Amino acid sequence: MESLWSKTTRLPDFEASPEDMRVQNLVIGGGIAGILIAYLLQEKGQKVVVLEADKIAFGQTKNTTAKITSQHGLIYHKMVQNTGRERALGYAAANEAAIKKYEEIITKEGISCDFEKVPSFLYTTDPAKILKLRQEEKTAKDLGLKAEYVDGNKMTELPFPISGAVRLDEQAQFHPLEFIQAIAAKLTIYENTNVLEVDDYIVTTDKGMVVADNIIFATHYPFPIVPGFYFLRQHQSRSYVLALEGKGVPQKLSGMYYGIDKNSISFRSADGMLLFGGSSHRTGKKNAPGFCALRKRAKEIYPEADETACWAAQDCMPHDHIPFIGRFSRLKEHWYIATGFQKWGMTTAMVSAMIISDMITGKENRYAWVFSPQRLLIKAGIKDFGIDVCESILGLTKGVFAKKVRKCPHMGCALTWNADEGTWDCPCHGSRFEEKGTLIDNPAQKKLPTER
């Protein structure tokens, strides 16, 4: 299972960290968030080191679909209702600024990464949902976004009839690993260096000790349980992507598409192929639809298509639907966090880099309050919080009482077998392991104990 991006890029190798180091800023995690945070900090004159447990971009980032957009599903109308217009204004403006920042960096550094300005579309095939799209268009416009409702019969690019869509202009798509390859060449990165523990200013890795003035957790899911309590504030959700080509499959789309209906498909084109994504579910869900359901759908729509690549990834979904970017906790003034990107981490990683680099260099950032991890948005998150607590109690109870279950080393929840991908997945917090126990996805930091 290798993404189109991984198949077409050879990322550079970096050495492991030296035994002991003293650094000004330490970024833990070399995904898109860690790389961008390090780059913007360095641009602002700071000294930065990135520590990556594996290889850079080998976490979720290599398996993204790499749409760079402020259109994050049907969000703006709900966000205004649940969190107020000011916050929604800030969210939209910060993400738009992130798109511009990508363009600025790519131009300034002369990066060749198939960056292309394209509109993004939010579509429905259900006439009953047109009203929702109209509401979204109106709110998005009011928040300053270039949104336009488009009648379904004017949309001919998708392989099925649709009822309507909201188009957002001035959005973009790119090849994420070609971008990272160019940026990483400018940074100080150590790979194969796993951070085991962070105690105030002291970071213990499997290679030695690092002392840092500022520590930035860009590990996708933060591994410290206390402080911050992020395991109570988000869950992980997986999605799947197929790269298709051949008879009947469009080689090039003029836009990027994301459906608002249940089981809808996300589309974009890349390198003469169609990226066909969907089948989302909470990580660790038993009998989840996964690749099987997505392939079945692809076969129905493009019966003669060839599958040239397939991949899957997961992301952190905060209960109140806003990423956590900023100070890790009130108790740790020099710790920073970037997580909870809800499958829109291309733009929100850039938002993280802009906010965190401003915070560290003492510059005011007008969007920082929007994403502050210290917020309390009860109205926006109560339902998801309830679901999460139930899932966690269930997983933990099974972990304690059920016999013959494999337990997650993170908090002891019972793991479920994911037959589709051949992995052990945690339904509580989303850690994943290979069949033999090797750790794939955090927050767990250890592999599974050997079965007896």
Q: Considering the rule CB under 6 A, would residue 80 count as an interface residue with ligand FAD?
A: no
CA nearest neighbour of 355 among 341, 345, 370, 342: 370
| Distance from C-alpha of 403 to C-alpha of 439, rounded to nearest angstrom | 22
Among the residue ranges 46-54, 80-88, 356-364, 382-390, the one whose residues contact ligand FAD (CB under 6 A): 46-54
Backbone angles phi, psi at 93, to 5 degrees: -65, -40
Q: Considering the rule CB under 6 A, would residue 278 count as an interface residue with ligand FAD?
A: no
Among the residue ranges 23-31, 298-306, 373-381, 383-391, the one whose residues contact ligand FAD (CB under 6 A): 23-31
Q: Considering the rule CB under 6 A, would residue 9 count as an interface residue with ligand FAD?
A: no
Q: Considering the rule CB under 6 A, would residue 423 count as an interface residue with ligand FAD?
A: no
Specify burial of residue 362 (Cβ count, 10 A radius: 0-12, 13-18, 19+). exposed
Backbone angles phi, psi at 131, to 5 degrees: -55, -40
| Under 8 Å between Cβ of 287 and 145 | no
Q: Considering the rule CB under 6 A, would residue 120 count as an interface residue with ligand FAD?
A: no
Closest approach, Cβ 67 to ligand FAD, in A, equals 3
Q: Considering the rule CB under 6 A, would residue 64 count as an interface residue with ligand FAD?
A: yes
Contacts of 442 (CB under 8 A, 6+ apart): 219, 220, 221, 223, 431
Site residues for ligand FAD, 187-216, by CB under 6 A, read 194-195
Q: The tokens 């040239």 sit on which residue?
A: 308
Q: Considering the rule CB under 6 A, would residue 25 count as an interface residue with ligand FAD?
A: no
Pairing of strands 147-151, 234-246: unpaired
| Distance from C-alpha of 192 to C-alpha of 297, rounded to nearest angstrom | 39
Backbone angles phi, psi at 439, to 5 degrees: -70, 130
Q: Which of 25, 52, 228, 358 binds ligand FAD (CB under 6 A)?
A: 52
Q: Considering the rule CB under 6 A, would residue 219 count as an interface residue with ligand FAD?
A: yes
Among the residue ranges 76-84, 178-186, 311-319, 353-361, the one whose residues contact ligand FAD (CB under 6 A): 311-319
Q: Considering the rule CB under 6 A, would residue 324 count as an interface residue with ligand FAD?
A: no
Q: Considering the rule CB under 6 A, would residue 350 count as an interface residue with ligand FAD?
A: no
Tokens matching residue 220: 């996708």
Closest approach, Cβ 344 to ligand FAD, in A, equals 4
Q: Considering the rule CB under 6 A, would residue 341 count as an interface residue with ligand FAD?
A: yes
Coil, strand or helix: which one is 372? coil
Q: In terms of CB distance, is 90 or 152 closer to ligand FAD?
A: 90
User: Count H helices, E strands: the chain?
Assistant: 10, 21
Q: Considering the rule CB under 6 A, would residue 294 count as an interface residue with ligand FAD?
A: no
Q: Considering the rule CB under 6 A, would residue 259 count as an interface residue with ligand FAD?
A: no
Coil, strand or helix: which one is 53? coil
Instruction: Cite the DSSP H helix spans in 155-207.
Output: 176-184
Q: Considering the rule CB under 6 A, would residue 34 count as an interface residue with ligand FAD?
A: yes
Quickly count: other Cβ atoms within 10 Å of residue 197's Cβ.
11
Q: Considering the rule CB under 6 A, would residue 30 count as an interface residue with ligand FAD?
A: yes
Q: In terms of CB distance, is 67 or 233 closer to ligand FAD?
A: 67
Q: Considering the rule CB under 6 A, would residue 60 count as an interface residue with ligand FAD?
A: yes
Q: In terms of CB distance, is 152 or 291 closer to ligand FAD?
A: 291
Give the Å distances, CA to CA, from 19 to 12, 205, 445: 22, 9, 20
Pairing of strands 324-329, 332-339: antiparallel
Q: In terms of CB distance, is 219 or 264 closer to ligand FAD?
A: 219
Q: Considering the rule CB under 6 A, would residue 309 count as an interface residue with ligand FAD?
A: no
Q: Considering the rule CB under 6 A, would residue 234 count as an interface residue with ligand FAD?
A: no
Which residues sit at the interface with ligand FAD, rule CB under 6 A?
A: 28-34, 51-54, 58-61, 64-67, 194-195, 218-220, 223, 239, 241, 277, 313-315, 341, 343-347, 349, 442, 445
